Structure 1
């Protein structure tokens, strides 16, 4: 069904997924997810996410437009099926999803869906979140889900094509490692 691969970046909040993706993949390869969460400073609609109202998101759900969707930290996230097909018909693509989102895509689309797990310590997540976010309530909320998000590694390592990244090293090294590992998927 898919001509090329789609890399699904998975890992705890604050693991570096977005920064690494922005440095490894060009924007035209990104499968942009829809979300009901509020836009962060410097984010742009249609570039970072499609920021939808809950009503609009539910309409897309009812139309069965999503290849996968999930509720994360009280907000909905979803990826439109036709966007995945369009992007992967042109070249390899990527998306940042939860484990659940990856599993749904993998079950539906098979071996062309490649999981990329950001293996990072809770302490490094805390440091990165403190750098990015000043609201301690938000930081604590994201840290509180670390164990659950990190536990997904035990399921992901069963996939034959998994890419495990050492996300405890400096981000420049994570970027270099991912570039090297995806070079085999041309």
Structure 2
């Protein structure tokens, strides 16, 4: 008998490594039962954003109470607002048999690892530091000092890759997406997901 619970797949890596693009391409495959986690935030909705679709929009008081009660898999403050992954939302989806993708930064992934031991943690690695720097520079939105700071942070973040289950090098988008798809399929076949009952086989002997 197979365990029909879904998986929590955490996709993380340094800034500009291509996490978001990989996730978008993964969902284009229309993989059965695969869903993207929806974060909670205290910021106001932007035009065309829908509560429960883009984010769970809540006030700061409610967010603070959720933090006190341990209701987030992870959370962080970004400028004047808070963002977090509601634990109940994710666990409910997993119990319904959904595989939940959580695209998140290194610090957030660390919190999730502490709060949900059964997660599948995939680290997206750049093909080289030179290529990562090139991707950051192509954005054209940051000064040289900010680029240097990002590169230093990237080095420190990549040191955390040893705490993940898998490493996927994003040297080619199609190949990176295919590897993550294969990881999900392989995780479905783990022995721990099966409860083997030999009684019926004994009756045949």
* TM value normalised by structure 2: 0.67
Cα distance in 2 between the residues matched to 1:69 and 1:182: 25
- Rg (Cα) greater in structure: 2
| Unmatched tracts of structure 1, length 5 or more | none
2:91 to 73, 85, 90: 85
Q: How does 1:127-138 map to 2 (within 5 A)?
A: 127-130=134-137, 133-136=139-142
TM-score by length of 1: 0.73
Q: Is the 8 A contact 1:33 1:95 kept in 2?
A: no
Q: C-alpha root-mean-square deviation of aligned residues, in Å?
A: 3.6
Kindly state the Cα deviation for residue 144 of structure 1 after the two structures are TM-superposed: 2.4
- The residue that corresponds to 1:163 in the other structure is 166
CA distance in 2, matches of 1:74, 1:142: 24
Q: Write the deviation string for residues 27-62 of structure 1: whole angstroms up to 9, x where unpaired.
A: 951111234578899976644444666566445434
Give the alignment partner of residue 147 of structure 1, picking from 152, 163, 170.
152
Please say if residues 19 and 103 of structure 2, whose CA atoms lie closer than 8 Å, have aligned partners that are also in contact. yes
Alignment partner of 1:93: what SS?
strand
Match of residue 117 from structure 1: 123
Query: Secondary structure in 2 aligned to 1:145?
Result: helix
Aligned residues: 179
Matched, 1:97 2:104: yes
Contact 1:36 1:53 in 2 (8 A): yes
Deviations 1:120-178 (A, max 9, x none): 134433443455x45335x964762343344334334244xx110111x1222211222
* Alignment partner, residue 25 of structure 2: 23
Question: What is the match of residue 5 of structure 1?
Answer: 7
Report the CA distance between 1:74 and its aligned residue. 7.3
Change in 2 beyond 3 A, CA 1:155/1:81:
same
Gaps of 5+ in 2: 189-205
The answer on 1:67 being equivalent to 2:42 is no
Aligned residue number for residue 192 of structure 2:
none
3-state SS of the aligned residue for 1:184? Answer: helix
Could you say if the C-alpha distance between residues 125 and 156 of structure 1 is closer, same or farther in structure 2, counting changes exceeding 3 Å?
closer
